């Protein structure tokens, strides 16, 4: 039997017993208005990976299937209409994890039991449809530049001292409600070599109290799962998912393309993302934007 996590961290009840949005509550209208003032040049960065037959994703989630549709429209002479049919896993491209995504102890965020609330039919509680959107202050931590060399080493657990040290080196402070994005340099390697999947840099277990202390809304990365692979404790994989999503009500953003943002050294910006409004959805495809 897997050992239960020992870290005592929770936001359950902070925003009431019926809350299903978790750390999105840190983002107030005032936070959004302040983030909007970060736009100086009006340059927009698309942080999504391209969706195609070789989109980088975990092997067990399958790559997207796309079929072009051609329709001869005889209502008007010589008009032809082109469309696509698309089939993909909602965790198989750039996406966000909703609060129903990872649970333990038979409960999800805010103490909702998984029985009767989440199944193959969908999530009646804490589904992606409860998100709406994420608009706020984005902060890029260029861990690849900070660590030097060829990006953050595979299998390296990023620590609070790494996170704080990188922020200091960039001259940025991390505040309540922020969306923090970690550039590790992993995505470009993974695109070229899918056999890397079992290994990736990412947040280590020691980062969990740091995430709670900073009161972040979301953490994203250019990796498949944001947290380190393989896990530090082989008996307890996805421990960051467990504590950040289930206990703190936070959101993880995965498979983000942060290369251009890092190349331009854009370390704070207006961040905008919204998942597809899938009723009772258990995963959220997003096309996130950074506006500097």
Q: How confident is the model at residue 8 (pLDDT cuts 50, 70, 90)?
A: low
Quickly list H helices, 121-258: 143-147, 160-170, 186-192, 207-214, 239-241
Instruction: Write the CA distances from 288 to 22, 134, 197, 271, 273, integer angstroms.
Output: 20, 9, 23, 7, 4
As a whole number, mean pLDDT of residues 46-69 equals 88
Instruction: Tell me the pLDDT band of 153, cut-offs 50, 70 and 90.
Output: very high
Taking alpha carbons only, the member of 271, 269, 206, 265 closest to residue 240 is 206
DSSP 8-state assignment for residue 22: G
pLDDT in tens, 175-201: 999 999 999 999 999 999 989 999 999
The full set of domains in the chain, from first to last, is 22-50+91-291 (3.50.30.50)
């Amino acid at each position: 039997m897997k050992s239960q996590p020992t870290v005592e961290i929770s936001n359950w009840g902070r925003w009431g017993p019926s809350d299903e949005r978790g750390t999105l509550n840190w983002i107030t209208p005032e936070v959004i208005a302040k983030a909007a003032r970060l736009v100086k040049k009006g340059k927009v960065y698309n942080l999504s990976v391209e969706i195609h037959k070789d989109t980088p994703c975990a092997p067990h989630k399958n790559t997207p299937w796309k079929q072009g549709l051609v329709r001869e429209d005889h209502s008007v002479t010589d008009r032809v209409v082109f469309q696509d049919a698309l089939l993909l896993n909602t965790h198989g491209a750039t996406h966000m994890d909703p609060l129903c995504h990872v649970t333990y102890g038979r409960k999800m965020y805010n103490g909702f039991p998984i029985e009767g609330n989440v199944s193959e039919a969908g999530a009646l509680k804490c589904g992606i449809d409860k998100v709406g959107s994420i608009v706020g202050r984005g902060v890029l931590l260029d861990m690849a530049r900070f660590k030097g060399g060829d990006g953050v080493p595979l299998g390296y657990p990023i620590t609070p001292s790494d996170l704080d040290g990188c922020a200091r080196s960039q001259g940025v402070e991390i505040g309540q409600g922020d969306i923090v994005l970690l550039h590790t340099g992993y995505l470009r390697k993974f695109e070229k070599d899918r056999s890397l999947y079992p290994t990736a840099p990412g947040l280590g277990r020691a980062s969990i109290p740091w995430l709670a202390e900073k009161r972040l809304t979301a953490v994203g990365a250019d990796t498949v799962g944001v947290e380190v692979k393989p896990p530090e404790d082989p008996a307890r994989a996805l421990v960051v998912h467990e504590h950040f999503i289930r206990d703190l009500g936070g959101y993880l953003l995965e498979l983000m393309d942060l290369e251009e943002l890092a190349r331009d050294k854009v370390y704070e910006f207006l961040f905008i993302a919204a998942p597809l409004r899938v009723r009772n959805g258990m995963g959220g495809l997003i096309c996130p934007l950074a506006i500097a």
